[in-house]
Amino acid sequence: MAETVKSAKIENRTARSRLKRGRQAHWRTLITGRAHIGYQRKDNATSGRWILRRYNGTNYAIECLGLADDSFEADGSVILNFDQAEAKARAILEAPRQASKRLTVRQAFARYVDFKHSQGQQTGDLIARGRVHILPHLGDKIVSELTPEMLRGWLSALASLPAMKRSPRGGKQAYKAAPSDEEDVRRRRSSANRILTMLKATLNHAFDDGLIARNDSWGRKLKPFRAVETARLRWLTVDEAKRLLNGCRQDFRKLVQGALATGCRYGELTRLKVEDFHADSGTIMIRRSKSGKARHVILNDEGVKLFSQLCMGKHGSELIFQNETRNHRAGQTDDLGEWRPSEQVRAMQDACTKSNLKPAVNFHALRHTWASLSVMNSVPLLVVAKNLGHTDTRMVEKHYGHLADNYVVNAIRDNAPNFGFDIGNNVVRLTQVPQTYCDNLQQSIRHDISIDS
């Protein structure tokens, strides 16, 4: 049964500015019990959006009409005022668009990649995973014909596949063994969740652009695997980090030092130029991060000395970290280039082997090392998150919050009730046995041996 909604004032910017922000939309009735035009503005959004809700006899279908003219003047196409949004909604109700029903997943994926490019965000991982896991199975499917059952089957099959190995370009793809133990299953399901997130982002982008009338198939009905994101983070102690550095070859050692001093990602470090280091403020400038945003990373005194040494004698446009080994092999000693994608993998494996570091770690563990040791040294979570490039502390709390010596831990240990439990026993730790007792015992044993002999 269709619900009755309370009419909200959404005609102008002033009225909309007084409305509560969030996921819940504010509605105005178009056809009683059948269709409503809504205004939705999430907490961090610069503008809201207009949406159309239609009752099909069993539930409501949602369709995006366009952005609201909260921050910019309406252009009648992408940005709409209330009258334009209402006119567009009534036109859809009178004559539903047929072209949107033929949009394929492949077309939606291409549009989403173009959008990411236009925002200056990295798309390499998105394209690589999409070509292997999304497009071969779903690429030719019509988006409007996708069903939750179809997508659940695709997700389940994806999680059961063995992980791919790095293979020669143009060669046959190699695979790891099929998932066997619980940790293998968790990893495959976690990877499947990441690919599902990419698929949902692709389809939601098309929905937000008004190219798809409904998002029921991949909305709340399609759930990711639960309790699979609790990865066993591996970080190094200070002694282990020193051993690792001793096992690195010379040019790679500089890169590892940079990661340990900053917590930056491999790609962020390899793009650093001398001009990005500011000795006066003790910071380095990350011009392009994973999120596409720039940030300043603060260094401690040791980090400032390290980068001062690395930048000494180099001009501003020169790379701080250079792969000297590859270029020496190619005979290009006068033109040292940047570290390429994945070139750190083998160098890291060799360093772990030479330093007898078990279990071995990957390069990203150096980022975990910086964050973990900083948190354990009482650096506030917000400061750690800012230096790592996170917008808030959620990721830091998720992975490193248990390491923090925060007020919750102190409050419980200081103020939780004590009940006077009788925990005493007659067992004494060997470390607590008096030395005189040990000396007397040894003399007694020697005496017994001499008698027997």
Which residue in the block uniquely carries the two structure tokens 């949406």?
A: 51
For the chain, the farthest-separated pair of C-alpha atoms sits apart, in whole angstroms, at: 111
pLDDT the model gives residue 2: 45
Domain boundaries, the chain: 13-96, 102-208, 238-410
Q: Does domain 102-208 have CATH number 1.10.150?
A: yes
In this structure, are residues 314 and 299 in contact, taking their beta carbons and an 8 Å threshold?
A: no
Cα 365 from chain centroid?
A: 14
Count of CB atoms within 10 A of residue 127's CB?
Answer: 16
Strand order in the sheet with 277-278: 277-278, 283-286, 295-298
> For every one of its 453 residues, what pLDDT tens digit does the chain have, with 9 covering 90 and above?
445 566 778 988 888 888 888 888 899 988 887 889 999 998 888 889 999 988 766 677 888 898 999 888 888 888 899 999 999 988 887 754 444 557 899 999 999 998 888 877 778 888 988 998 999 999 999 998 899 999 999 999 999 888 777 766 666 777 777 777 888 888 889 899 999 999 999 999 888 877 887 788 888 788 899 887 765 678 899 999 999 999 999 999 999 999 999 999 999 999 999 999 999 999 999 988 777 778 999 999 999 999 999 999 899 899 999 988 765 555 554 455 789 888 899 999 999 999 999 889 999 999 999 998 888 888 888 888 899 988 777 778 777 766 766 656 666 777 778 766 666 656 555 555 566 655 666 666 665 655 555
- Beta strand 79-80 with 60-68: parallel, antiparallel or unpaired? parallel
Give every CB contact of residue 387 below 8 A, 6+ residues apart in sequence: 262, 263, 297, 298, 374
What is the CATH T-level fold of the domain 238-410, as seen in this structure? Answer: hpI Integrase; Chain A (1.10.443)
What pTM was estimated for this model as a whole?
0.57
pLDDT the model gives residue 405: 61
pLDDT the model gives residue 406: 60
In this structure, are residues 15 and 44 in contact, taking their beta carbons and an 8 Å threshold?
A: no
pLDDT the model gives residue 377: 85
Compute CA distances 137 → 31, 206, 219, whole Å.
40, 19, 19
β-strand partners of 164: 175
CA neighbor of 321 nearest in space, from 348, 352, 298, 344: 344
Angle at 205 between CA 200 and CA 208, to 5 degrees: 120
